[in-house]
A and B are shown apart, each in its own frame.
Chain A
Amino acid sequence: MPLVNGGKIAEDSFVKLAVDTPLPASGDILVPAERFVGEAEALLKRAGKVGVIWPNNRDIDEFVPYLGKVAAVALVFPTFRDGRAYSQARLLRERYNYRGELRATGQILRDQFVFMLRAGFDSFEVKKQADAEAFMQTAKRYSVFYQPTGDGRITALHRRMQLRHSEGVGT
């Protein structure tokens, strides 16, 4: 499954651990939330980056104590019709100012890229190679947005205000 990171297909340095996989001595690891919360101290002490896989039915507030400590958070879309992780992503970015990697995992198609970028995701485990290759093109599909989110893109309402004011200056 190709990973898109920083807008490009990239090597995935993280290895996903299950709840009971023995801890590798080194390297970057993505750990399920329940294991992470139980062993956080030990996990964070070892060499290599640590990321957490946070399920979409677990309150993201619980993650707050670890905000500055992990390198990545992977949120889960068990199917692409299950949109809970969009709310989790926005809360992480916009309410808790999480600045690390925010990865979308699960059933990820190109049709979600724009939504996900707007919600704060910057890394994507894409199901199909063709979709991963189409990432940059698809991400630019929309040029206007009605809603303000943490991605800082200017909304239609604000663009109109700017237009109004610039026209006002001329008259």
Chain B
Amino acid sequence: MYAYDEIDRTLVNERVLEFRDQVKRRLSGELTEDEFKILRLQNGVYLQLHAYMFRVAIPYGTLASNQLRQLAHVARKYDRGYGHFTTRQNIQFNWIKLAELPDALADLAEVGIHAMQTSGNNMRNVTSDQWAGVAPGEIEDPRIWSELIRQHTTLHPEFSFLPRKFKIAITASDHDRAAIKIHDIGLRLIKNEKGETGFEVLVGGGLGRTPFIAKTIKHFVHGRDILSYIEAILRVYNQYGRRDNIYKARIKILVHELGIEKFSREVEDEWQHIQNSSLQIDDEVIEDIRSRFTYPSYEKLPHSPDELRQAAADPDFEAWRKNSVAPHKVQGYSIVTISLKPIGAPPGDATAEQMDALADLADKYSFGEIRVGHEQNLALPHVAKRDLPALWKALDKLGLATPNVNLITDIIACPGLDYCSLANARSIPIAQELTRRFANHELANLIGRLHINISGCINACGHHHVGHIGILGVEKNGEEVYQITIGGRADENAALGNLIGPGVKFDEVADVVEDIVEAYLALRERPEELFMDTVKRLGVEPFKERVYATR
């Protein structure tokens, strides 16, 4: 956990006061809605279909138990008793009243939480691996760097009014859980031959109307230079990114139009001027940030404790353990993923009661720490293996032990037409129906790893392009129509999915997905061949045939 110091606290409190003034001026009419819109977006406040939506930052997905309790408090006091975890490790509240927002922010500031730059055309919340600091084989904890970048990008005096939003993600593991290749800047933490920390820098990834996988702009940028290098990229983008068309304003379009070589030359030219400036970070600065991250004092525990062996007789426990428990870098500990995808419910939602109870469980079993992943699930990052059976029982009581992590019912979905004013089609009911179709755990397990991602419009908040099965809702002649892609993925081998054919109607979507899955089960060479590998081997054609043969 990163602990705020007086400086961080002061800044967050000053931001609350500024926002309070902005809301006051809006309510008094001193600010027009047009003016206020930009200001509220700088602080995570959208106007949705029914009410204001409030997005709160959870930088790099790390939460302390007292912070989670405060999120529960906000859900209860200012909203309707629940929150929605997003694909960028944030949380959204859907029913906030404008006049109460400054108070909600002030409550959050008490525990070091803010909503700065969770929307708007600025540098968004820095995201990272939800297993940072605990994943076996990780090079080093990417959150140190995430925090450094979080600070540097917060209220940046030059880059708070960019052509469009700007997202940075960092990973330090071979397996990319942070989806860095679909970010404006993706950073892969690596070591050079001298053992020094640096980053492979990728640029220009993004989904939306014109999806691109990020390209490598530089193979190694030394850690001490990472802020100046990012600043150089942003300066080029701020000046030359398109502002005439909102759909062409992301950096991916600039990179695409200039070509990566020319773009990287521009960045290099700019970087020459600022590399050896006060943006250079020395080891002491890094150490200072590192020193404010606390790590648990792990006990020396057995690899296979008695409690775990005894519980193995319970098939329900075993199903959950095999699905939701992952290896930890320290012997005797595990990383536990908590599915926020119960059958028949909207993906990513948690009630205030669940949040409070989880905070208690984190205190009891995970050194008071909780993580949020971009798949819209939570994790307890430091659970002693001997505690797994007790934790499972407690989670099960809360409805938080659905053993479907990474399975077909672990669906990523945006809020869609049920909440969002941009949406053309519903997302949540599609997700709900699909979880009912595949509710049988044996069936889901037989299918194996399969990610379904659903977006209710072309803006792609549900990351449909990179779903193994991607579902995009559009509007055609006043009707919801869904386009279906297969073969996308968001990890280190990121790829965009391919369309299988013409769009289908709302009530056909689940049938089509069932057809695709049946085709896969028939086509795979062996049970271990995952859906995405079968699609890679055979292409779209056999799936298309199956789906459209009878339609």
- A66 close to chain B: CB less than 8 A: no
Instruction: Tell whether A141 pairs with B121 under 8 Å between CB atoms, given A83-B159, A115-B160, A156-B7.
Output: no
Within 8 A of A (CB), among B510-540: none
A91 to chain B, nearest CB (A): 8
User: Is the beta-carbon distance between B38 and A80 smaller than 8 angstroms?
Assistant: yes
Binds B, one of A6-14, A25-33, A42-50, A146-154: A146-154
Complex: how many Å from CA A147 to CA B239? Answer: 19
Nearest-CB residue, chain A, relative to B35: A109
A118 contact from B157, B238, B277, Cβ within 8 A: B157
B155 contact from A84, A146, A160, Cβ within 8 A: A146
B158 contact from A119, A142, A159, Cβ within 8 A: A119
A86 contact from B17, B158, B279, Cβ within 8 A: B158
Complex: how many Å from CA A80 to CA B34? Answer: 11
A87 contact from B10, B235, B278, B288, Cβ within 8 A: B235
- B243 close to chain A: CB less than 8 A: yes
User: Is the beta-carbon distance between A156 and B35 smaller than 8 angstroms?
Assistant: no
User: Is the beta-carbon distance between B277 and A148 smaller than 8 angstroms?
Assistant: yes
B151 contact from A80, A143, A146, Cβ within 8 A: A146
Complex: how many Å from CA A115 to CA B154? Answer: 12
Q: Mark B228-248, 1 if CB is under 8 A from A, else 0.
A: 000000010011000100000
Q: Mark B454-467, 1 if CB is under 8 A from A, else 0.
A: 00000000000000
Q: Mark B130-169, 1 if CB is under 8 A from A, else 0.
A: 0000000000000000000001101111111110000000
User: Is the beta-carbon distance between B161 and A147 smaller than 8 angstroms?
Assistant: no
Within 8 A of A (CB), among B1-21: 5, 7-8, 10-11, 14, 17-18
B155 to chain A, nearest CB (A): 7
Complex: how many Å from CA A146 to CA B155? Answer: 8
Instruction: Tell whether A119 pairs with B157 under 8 Å between CB atoms, given A130-B30, A146-B152, A148-B278.
Output: yes
- B284 close to chain A: CB less than 8 A: yes
- B281 close to chain A: CB less than 8 A: yes
Complex: how many Å from CA A160 to CA B304? Answer: 44
Q: What is the size, in residues, of chain B's interface with A at 8 Å between Cβ atoms?
A: 38
Q: What is the size, in residues, of chain A's interface with B at 8 Å between Cβ atoms?
A: 35
- B285 close to chain A: CB less than 8 A: yes
B372 to chain A, nearest CB (A): 23
A142 contact from B35, B155, B156, B243, Cβ within 8 A: B155
User: Is the beta-carbon distance between A87 and B157 smaller than 8 angstroms?
Assistant: no
- A103 close to chain B: CB less than 8 A: no
Instruction: Tell whether A84 pairs with B239 under 8 Å between CB atoms, given A111-B22, A130-B30.
Output: yes
Residues of B contacting A90 in the complex (Cβ-Cβ under 8 angstroms): 158
B31 to chain A, nearest CB (A): 8
User: Is the beta-carbon distance between A141 and B238 smaller than 8 angstroms?
Assistant: no
Residues of B contacting A23 in the complex (Cβ-Cβ under 8 angstroms): none
- A19 close to chain B: CB less than 8 A: no
A43 to chain B, nearest CB (A): 27
Residues of A contacting B18 in the complex (Cβ-Cβ under 8 angstroms): 111, 141-142
User: Is the beta-carbon distance between A95 and B273 smaller than 8 angstroms?
Assistant: yes
Residues of B contacting A141 in the complex (Cβ-Cβ under 8 angstroms): 14, 17-18
A160 contact from B7, B157, B239, Cβ within 8 A: B7
Complex: how many Å from CA A147 to CA B123? Answer: 14
24 A-B pairs with C-beta separation under 8 A: A80-B38, A81-B121, A81-B161, A82-B161, A83-B159, A83-B160, A83-B238, A86-B158, A87-B238, A87-B239, A90-B158, A111-B22, A141-B18, A142-B14, A142-B18, A142-B155, A145-B155, A148-B278, A149-B157, A156-B11, A157-B151, A160-B285, A161-B285, A164-B284
Binding site for B on A (CB under 8 A): 80-84, 86-88, 90, 95, 109, 111, 114-116, 118-119, 128, 130, 141-149, 155-157, 159-161, 164
